Amino acid sequence: EFRELEGTDVKDMRLEADAVVNDVLFAVGNMFVSKNLPCAVDMAYINVEIKEGTRYCLELTDAGLRVVGYAFDQVVEELHSQYHETVYSLLDSLSSAYREAFGNALLQRPEALKRD
């Protein structure tokens, strides 16, 4: 009986990380789940290059997302950056080009709906 319930309420951060990447890939230069850093049920790492060209390594946990490095696959233990509840909030704080791309996507949505 316990086995049936096992894992049903637990978020798999690997799946969550994939969803995060797919959600905002249009508004950044490059973004992918790290294959070199350990991924677990409770933690995943995402590499992102914002449109301005700066690279970051992000940590995704139940607490949210935060910058842990300033290069792909880099974790700086001494870096105690702020957690963001959403990827939108984090990218908004890092990239004005992200804000612009996201805003443009929102403006195009009603136009696409009118055509359908």
2-115 belongs to which CATH class? alpha beta
- Collect all residues with Cβ–Cβ distance below 8 Å to 9 and sequence separation of at least 6: none
Helix (H, G, I), strand (E, B) or coil at 33: strand
Q: What is the pTM of this model?
A: 0.81
Q: What pLDDT digit, counting tens, does each position of 32-85 carry?
A: 999 999 998 999 999 999 999 999 999 999 999 999 999 999 999 999 999 999
C-alpha torsion sign, points 24, 67, 45, 60: negative
